[in-house]
């Protein structure tokens, strides 16, 4: 897929596309009188059921695709544009149309960005394990932007960087666990650091983890023949003038495969456990994009990498270890391992001077049961950060719902022999967040994202056919961008009346 942005139409397009909402064509006031009347007739037919979304008709002797920009329920106006552009691109590839023209001179930057993301999403496929691979038919989308051409070109460059990061996340998550071990994940992180200007990397292996007291990751990973690692990537602003004193640290759960350990998972739940490293993949992709965009803010990413397998050295229910912050933890359930690994990532964030921490993890089935696949639940100890997460998510078409850090459930995490145990008796997602809060450095703004439902889907959802969604990458980039600009959390996401 290629975007060609220009002020005027080249006349070379094989077809045009028009976005519509109910009886109104969006972004285009360039239709001649004949075409306008024909378009009105088509839209009337849409209402009566004669025509439908992606209808391909002649408009003043020009092939035209009508794309419904309000087709789905429950999503924002910007997400309507994304999903509409996604469907358009899929249709154009299916019909093998070499060039499609979009008249978008009346679109705002945010609206064009949503459309560009939708077009890019349609280009993704994961066929590395197919015996016969087939390239997507390449469609060029001619964006007729008028006076907005220069602005749209800048937006398109940003979208391409974000989509590269999203693709990195999805490819990592969709890779089978036997091929993406903790050691292989480290190699992927080293490659990202090598080819991304401004990124540095520090790698701790199993021996170093134990030596330095990072016993959460070491305990989780000791049952596997493939040892655990902790990777810290750092970006200092690429030499640009930084006015912000903030240091955002993204901590990602990286269980490259999770059997549940001795508390074994059910067989039918096991194949999806290739996605249990989504938090780490998202953190790696986000910092790659932040560095490429040269945002003037200090950002680090901490990847907590391990396999939770059954082996002769596997952790046992009832085992007790001392965490990096000195608290002792009893392993009540070996399938509640993600929070053990994240405890080390949170400690590392404190050691490197975080002012703000986002940890993200496919952590609990309780969150999936509560919010499903469309909304990520999150927790925060800081109201301004929480509002920023919601606003950034809205701008990126990613839904977040604030969950309570209900202290009433905290006593259930106390253990008879250790300071803490890794499971509570009630409210599974809240208990997990309360456990993590025990390891958050003092006086640090923190938010925990439980992306268990949104990270990986087994049925078609918006612009994902199956597998990894890349959820969270864009919100992290947007959050870093707003923090770099010093924007207040109170700034509301814009809504546009057109769609």
Show which residues are catalytic: 265, 339
Instruction: Find, among 454, 440, 452, the residue nearest to 405 by Cα.
Output: 440
Q: Within 13 Å and on the Cβ side, how many CA atoms surround 309?
A: 21
Assess contact for 446 and 440: CB atoms under 8 A: yes
Assess contact for 424 and 332: CB atoms under 8 A: no
Beta bridge partners of 450: 361, 377
Assess contact for 361 and 342: CB atoms under 8 A: yes
Rounded to an integer, what distance in angstroms lies between the CA atom of residue 53 and that of residue 476?
Answer: 33
Q: Kindly report the backbone phi and psi dihedral angles of residue 469, in degrees, each rounded to the nearest multiple of 5, phi listed first.
A: -100, -25
Assess contact for 81 and 109: CB atoms under 8 A: no
Assess contact for 344 and 280: CB atoms under 8 A: no
DSSP string for 301-339: EEEEEEEE---TT---TT-EEE-TTS-EEE-S-TT--HH
Q: How open is the CA angle 458-461-464, to the nearest 5 degrees?
A: 80
């Amino acid at each position: 897929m290629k975007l060609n942005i220009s002020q005027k139409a080249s006349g070379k397009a094989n077809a045009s596309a028009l976005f519509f909402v109910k009886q109104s064509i969006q972004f285009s006031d360039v239709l001649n009188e004949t075409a306008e009347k024909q378009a009105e007739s088509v839209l009337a037919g849409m209402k009566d059921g004669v025509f439908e979304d992606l209808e391909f008709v002649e408009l003043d002797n020009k092939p035209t695709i009508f794309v419904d920009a309000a087709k789905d329920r429950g999503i924002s106006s910007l997400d309507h544009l994304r999903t509409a552009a996604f469907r358009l691109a899929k249709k154009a590839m299916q019909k093998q149309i070499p060039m499609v023209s979009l008249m978008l001179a009346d679109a705002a930057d945010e609206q064009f960005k949503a459309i560009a993301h939708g077009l890019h999403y349609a280009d993704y496929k994961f066929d590395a394990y197919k015996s016969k691979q087939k390239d997507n038919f390449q469609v060029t989308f001619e964006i007729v932007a008028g006076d907005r051409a220069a602005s749209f070109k800048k937006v398109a460059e940003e979208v391409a960087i974000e989509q590269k990061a999203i693709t990195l996340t999805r490819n990592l998550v969709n890779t089978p666990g036997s091929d993406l071990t903790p050691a292989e994940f480290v190699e992927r992180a080293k490659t990202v650091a090598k080819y991304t200007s401004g990124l540095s990397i520090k790698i701790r292996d199993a021996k170093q983890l134990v030596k330095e007291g990072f016993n959460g990751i070491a305990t989780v990973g000791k049952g596997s023949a493939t040892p655990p690692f902790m990777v810290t990537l750092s970006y200092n602003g690429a030499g640009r003038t930084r006015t912000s004193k903030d240091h955002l640290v993204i901590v990602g759960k990286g269980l490259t495969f999770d059997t549940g350990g001795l508390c074994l998972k059910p067989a039918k739940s096991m194949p999806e456990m290739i996605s249990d490293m989504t938090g780490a993949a998202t953190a790696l992709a986000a910092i790659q994009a932040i560095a490429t965009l040269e945002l003037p803010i200090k950002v680090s990413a901490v990847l907590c990498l391990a396999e939770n397998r059954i082996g002769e050295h596997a952790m046992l229910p009832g085992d007790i270890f001392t965490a990096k912050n000195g608290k002792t933890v009893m392993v009540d359930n070996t399938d509640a391992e993600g929070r053990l690994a994240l405890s080390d990532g949170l400690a590392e964030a404190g050691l490197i001077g975080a002012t703000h921490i986002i940890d993200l993890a496919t952590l609990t089935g309780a969150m999936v049961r509560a919010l499903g696949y469309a909304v990520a639940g999150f927790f925060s100890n800081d109201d301004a950060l929480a509002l920023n997460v919601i606003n950034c998510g809205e701008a990126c078409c990613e839904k977040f719902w604030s969950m309570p850090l209900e202290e009433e459930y905290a006593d259930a995490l106390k253990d008879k022999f250790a300071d803490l145990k890794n499971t509570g008796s009630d409210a599974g997602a809240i208990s997990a967040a309360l456990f993590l809060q025990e390891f958050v450095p003092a006086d640090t703004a923190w938010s925990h994202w439980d992306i268990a439902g949104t990270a990986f889907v087994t049925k078609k959802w918006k612009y994902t056919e199956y597998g990894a969604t890349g959820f969270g990458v864009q919100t992290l980039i947007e959050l870093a961008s707003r923090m770099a600009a010093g924007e207040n959390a109170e700034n509301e996401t814009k809504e546009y009346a057109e769609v």
